[in-house]
Chains A and B, each alone.
Chain A
Amino acid sequence: MISVNNIHTYYGHIHAVKGISFEVRQGEITALIGANGAGKSTTIKTICGLLHPREGSILLDGAPIHKLSADKVVRLGVGLVPEGRRVFPVLTVDENLDMGAYHRSDQAEIAKDKAQMYETFPALKGREKQLAGSLSGGEQQMLAIARALMSKPKLLAMDEPSLGLAPLLVKRVFEIIADLNQQGMTILLSEQNARGALKIAHQGIVLETGLVRFADDAASLRSNAVIQRAYLGAG
């Protein structure tokens, strides 16, 4: 579905992503694992069009998207759940969902999808008119996921959705991701929580300082001794 080919992304002079390649396959969860600063967010932002690679290409179903601006990439089917949730605090829950559906004009379908979101994420139900800034961290995460789904993405890119949540909520977020995938959603999941991510993922890409260190199916990564020591907290 998405093929990332040798991308190099910079922040001014800082070379943050130094030639990363991987594939996200249709119907799968691809986990992007790495410590803080490894380049996960930079990779995800480059895919979404928020950053542009200086070299390399990104193909969505064969078509290059790496030169497009973010608002165009969404139209082509890449939805983003940003790091730190980034719901619009001054907009209501309902308006946040509207913003997720910004590029759509099928009013009746949008209304139906919104109703569906309140079913899928009961934490949001009854709070349609509440400002998103007044929600708890967990609720904001649910809203950020629902907002991204409102764009009807082919690929859902999630940047550290478990970050800063209580253990019970972390578990809930991973369940939701697994459920979405079960219903057919292709997901690119960036996580520092390698244990949680590799449990639900099909394949894993391990990043270190802007480079791919390992890339394999999730089960093999879980049983890899180096990964276990460095990322899964095993002795």
Chain B
Amino acid sequence: MNINTVSIFLQTIVGGIGIGSLYALVALGYSMQYRSMGLVNFAQGSIYMIGTYFGIIWYQGMVMGLQVPYPIAFLIGIVLNMGLGLILERIFRPLANLDLMLMLLGTIGLGYVLDNMAIITWGAEGFAVKSPLPNTPIIIGGVALLPQMLLLIGVSAILMVGLTVFLSKAKIGKAMRAAASDRETASAMGIPVNTTNAVSFAIGCGLAAAAGILAAPIVYVNPAMGGPVGLKGFAAFILGGAGSIPGAIVGGLVFGVLEAVSAGFVSSAYTKGIAFVVMVVVLMFRPGGIVGEVTVDKV
């Protein structure tokens, strides 16, 4: 292997980690919602898309011509999407812990509603977003990296560490873990489970918004952007171990790297397929996923 192949390989891996961070954040959304409510939220892709708009419209000057700096737009998008999450949690509450068919219908249906609302509000055709960072790649050890990709990886990492610390140290974070493992006992201990569920749901939506706003300058922003990301985030969620927090992170990164490697070294025509095939094979040997903790109360 010559030096050039090595650097292309490294570049592919870093690209995979970048796109994998995106999947991981979306998978964490699925996980937070599944842990708390036993709900598999198939509207997660649409929530990711809405969250992207909620942030990017400020940055793009689409709100009363205001030109909001990227970091502020990022925060506004997260907060707005968390607010949306609080509303959606109320709508989804009756679906919690019901059978998969009802969740499927209910959440997919809501996903369509969100997609159509985006089309009505912002139009069906999308737009490209200019990165707030320079577009010239940074060369590190022969590997060319886009600054926006590094931002995506860095901020995602901070959010993942932040979430982990929050769940392990904050009082409400501990309560969320307790409620995820045994909802009835948690409420008998004085934990307001409906509130912790709503917070979990909102966090899931906030992470999706963060993912979308970070990815916006790399991808093309449009009302259909949620579909593939929602699907791959779901795959990452299952791959890592449904409901597991480290599992969602590992699952997302593994899925992203697999996808990048298969696109770069096999053929981009097979990209979509290969990562899913690997996922199925992994699940055949580890049905609980790669990490697969037993932390979730399956009522």
9-residue interface stretch from B115-123, B153-161, B171-179, B263-271 = B171-179
Inter-chain contact A99/B174, CB cutoff 8 Å: yes
Across chains A and B, the number of contacting residue pairs, with CB separation under 8 Å, is 68
Interface residue A86 (Cβ < 8 Å from any Cβ of B): yes
Report chain A residues within 8 Å CB of B295.
90
Extra pairs beyond A90-B293, A147-B189 (7, CB < 8 Å): A50-B188, A90-B181, A91-B177, A91-B181, A99-B178, A99-B186, A100-B189
User: Which residues B156-208 have CB closer than 8 A to chain A?
Assistant: 171, 174-175, 177-178, 181-182, 184-193
Inter-chain contact B181/A69, CB cutoff 8 Å: no
Contacts A90-B293, A90-B295, A91-B174 given: A99-B189 contact, CB under 8 Å?
A: yes
Inter-chain contact B187/A99, CB cutoff 8 Å: no
User: Would you call the interface of chain B mostly helix, strand, loop, or mixed?
Assistant: helix
Inter-chain contact A99/B181, CB cutoff 8 Å: no
User: Can you name the residue of chain B whose Cβ is closest to the Cβ of A100?
Assistant: B189
Interface residue A82 (Cβ < 8 Å from any Cβ of B): yes
9-residue interface stretch from A9-17, A70-78, A203-211, A222-230 = A70-78
User: How would residues 61 to 94 of chain A score, 1 for a CB under 8 Å from any chain B CB and 0 otherwise?
Assistant: 0000000011100110000101000101111000
Interface residue A95 (Cβ < 8 Å from any Cβ of B): yes
Minimum-distance CB pairs A-B, first 8: A74-B190, A103-B190, A70-B187, A102-B190, A86-B185, A80-B188, A88-B178, A71-B192
B interface residue numbers (CB < 8 A to A):
171, 174-175, 177-178, 181-182, 184-193, 293-295
Inter-chain contact A88/B182, CB cutoff 8 Å: yes
Inter-chain contact B191/A71, CB cutoff 8 Å: yes
Other-chain contact of A89, B181, B190, B192 (Cβ < 8 Å)? B181
Report chain A residues within 8 Å CB of B182.
86, 88
Inter-chain contact B178/A91, CB cutoff 8 Å: yes
A to B CB contacts below 8 Å, 30 in the list: A50-B187, A50-B188, A70-B188, A70-B190, A71-B189, A71-B190, A71-B191, A71-B192, A74-B188, A74-B190, A75-B190, A80-B188, A80-B189, A82-B188, A86-B182, A86-B185, A88-B177, A88-B185, A88-B186, A90-B181, A90-B293, A90-B295, A91-B177, A98-B171, A99-B186, A99-B191, A102-B171, A102-B175, A147-B189, A151-B190
Interface residue A187 (Cβ < 8 Å from any Cβ of B): no
Chain A nearest CB from B218 CB (Å) reads: 36
Chain A nearest CB from B226 CB (Å) reads: 32
User: Can you name the residue of chain B whose Cβ is closest to the Cβ of A88?
Assistant: B178
Interface residue A197 (Cβ < 8 Å from any Cβ of B): no
Interface residue A173 (Cβ < 8 Å from any Cβ of B): no
Inter-chain contact A74/B181, CB cutoff 8 Å: no
User: Can you name the residue of chain B whose Cβ is closest to the Cβ of A144?
Assistant: B185
Inter-chain contact B177/A90, CB cutoff 8 Å: yes
Q: Roughly how many angstroms separate A74 CA and B188 CA in the complex, as a whole number? A: 7
